[in-house]
């Protein structure tokens, strides 16, 4: 297998191109979520807001290496960067948060459960690991139909979700079936306010991989290059028939669990440690140091992201919410299934 740091592997771009591309999505995600958090604090958003500040490198590094229209991607509540990299338009995210009837959720759900099944993004049932079995089921269905091809499925969870029964059951099934699945575990040190020391007794979450008969990889969640290389190798292994892969990213959540949480339970020594580093300025610094982008080009990326976000928020904010008297509230995804119910 050829390393992403050197040249293309399985049509994956070399590191400079992949790094630059992922950085753009990181900037867009950070800009969008900062704006959404501001709108939330102004009382204009119903429901919670859960941002991925500090986790954008881990998120974008996966999303940017998946192929929309071919692969299956189930992001977590903090994966705006991965969603954007996979192809979710900012206007779709804005419409969901702002309750627009034109959004993918038609104004019915405030934020985290949005999805687009036809494009390979199943709508989230729960952020506590339930989507691993959903992605596995979608992969297994393609295998049974004979159209799995080079599809890879990716499911994202947090460290807290690894303590749930649904995760263990799903990983066991995926391993037995040797599905082409990558499970991204964002270990941001806290399951809401519960620290790792009260979550699991093993030395490292990657140690669990061997128990499922899987391969596991640790990456530095603050280092975009390390995340890109870790996911590239995991995707390549999954596609080559080596079964599910666990990728654990170590970082710190640089925000509360949600915008309602001040995260005063996070010790200052953790905030000041290496895992408390902010991945976005680190990525920006490396881009300039390597000569992959100039300072002016980085600033241009930031300006374009700010303009795109501003336009999306203004547009979504001016659209109407669903009308309870005239809107079609049928929850069935399949129109054929819906029509059969009414026959």
pLDDT (tens digit, 9 = 90+) per residue, 177-194? 999 999 999 998 888 888
Tell me: the pLDDT tens digits for 273-324? 999 899 999 999 999 999 999 999 999 999 999 999 999 999 999 999 888 8
Instruction: Answer yes or no: is pLDDT of 332 > 80.
Output: no
Tell me: the pLDDT tens digits for 218-256? 999 999 999 999 999 999 999 999 999 999 999 999 887
Domain spanning 15-322: CATH superfamily: Thiamin diphosphate (ThDP)-binding fold, Pyr/PP domains (3.40.50.970)
Instruction: Answer yes or no: is pLDDT of 2 > 50.
Output: no
| Position 3 confidence tier, pLDDT thresholds 50, 70, 90 | very low
The pLDDT assigned to 262 comes to: 84
Residue 298: count other Cβ atoms within 10 Å of its Cβ. 20
Q: Under a CB-based contact definition with an 8 Å cutoff, are residues 71 and 153 in contact?
A: yes
What are the beta bridge partners of residue 250?
Answer: 187, 220
CA distance 338 to 332: 6
How does DSSP classify residue 195? E
CA distance 221 to 278: 10
Q: What are 192's two structure tokens?
A: 């809401």
CA distance 203 to 210: 13
Average pLDDT over residues 29-33: 97
| Position 8 confidence tier, pLDDT thresholds 50, 70, 90 | very low
CA atoms within 13 A on the CB side of 181: 30
Q: Under a CB-based contact definition with an 8 Å cutoff, are residues 224 and 279 in contact?
A: yes
Question: What residues contact residue 80 under an 8 Å CB cut-off, 6+ apart?
Answer: 29, 32, 33, 51, 52, 56, 59, 93
CA distance 231 to 143: 23
Mean per-residue pLDDT over the chain, rounded: 89
| Position 336 confidence tier, pLDDT thresholds 50, 70, 90 | low
CA atoms within 13 A on the CB side of 217: 23
The pLDDT assigned to 292 comes to: 96
**Sign of the torsion angle spanned by Cα atoms 84, 271, 224, 180:** negative
Instruction: Answer yes or no: is pLDDT of 57 > 50.
Output: yes
Orientation of helix 131-145 relative to helix 165-176, angle to 10°: 20
The pLDDT assigned to 339 comes to: 61
| Position 338 confidence tier, pLDDT thresholds 50, 70, 90 | low
CA atoms within 13 A on the CB side of 13: 15
Instruction: Answer yes or no: is pLDDT of 11 > 60.
Output: no
Average pLDDT over residues 152-168: 92
Q: What are 253's two structure tokens?
A: 């959540």
The residues spanned by each domain of the chain are 15-322
CA distance 323 to 321: 6
The pLDDT assigned to 111 comes to: 72
| Position 341 confidence tier, pLDDT thresholds 50, 70, 90 | low
In the block, tokens 């189930």 appear at 74
The pLDDT assigned to 193 comes to: 84
């Amino acid at each position: 297998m050829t390393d992403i740091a050197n040249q293309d592997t399985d049509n994956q771009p070399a590191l400079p191109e992949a790094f630059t591309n992922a950085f753009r999505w990181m900037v867009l995600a950070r800009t969008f979520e900062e704006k959404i958090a501001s709108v939330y604090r102004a009382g204009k958003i119903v429901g919670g807001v859960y941002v991925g500040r500090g986790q954008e490198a881990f998120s974008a590094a996966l999303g940017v290496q998946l192929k929309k229209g071919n692969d299956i991607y189930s992001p977590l509540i903090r994966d705006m960067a991965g969603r954007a990299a996979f192809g979710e338009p900012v206007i779709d995210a804005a419409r969901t948060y702002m309750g627009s009837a034109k959004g993918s959720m038609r104004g019915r759900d405030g934020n985290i459960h949005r999805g687009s099944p036809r494009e390979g993004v199943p709508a989230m049932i729960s952020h506590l690991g339930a989507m691993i079995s959903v992605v596995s089921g979608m992969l297994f269905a393609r295998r049974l139909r004979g159209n799995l091809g080079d599809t890879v499925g990716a499911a994202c969870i947090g460290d807290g979700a690894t303590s749930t029964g649904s995760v263990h059951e799903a990983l066991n099934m995926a391993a037995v079936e040797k599905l082409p699945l990558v499970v991204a575990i964002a270990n941001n040190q806290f399951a809401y306010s519960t620290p790792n020391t009260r979550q699991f007794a093993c030395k490292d979450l990657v140690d669990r991989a061997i128990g499922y008969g899987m391969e596991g990889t640790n990456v530095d969640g603050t280092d975009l290059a390390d995340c890109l290389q870790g996911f590239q190798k995991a995707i390549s292994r999954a596609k080559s028939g080596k079964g599910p892969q666990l990728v654990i990213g170590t970082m710190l959540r640089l925000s509360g669990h949600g915008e309602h949480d001040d995260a005063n339970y996070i010790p200052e020594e953790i905030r000041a440690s290496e895992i408390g580093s902010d991945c976005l300025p680190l990525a920006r610094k490396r881009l300039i140091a390597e000569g992959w982008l100039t300072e002016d080009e980085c600033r241009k990326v930031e300006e374009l992201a700010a303009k795109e976000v501003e336009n999306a928020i203004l547009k979504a904010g001016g659209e109407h919410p669903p009308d309870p008297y005239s809107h079609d509230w049928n929850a069935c995804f399949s129109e054929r299934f819906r029509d059969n119910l009414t026959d």
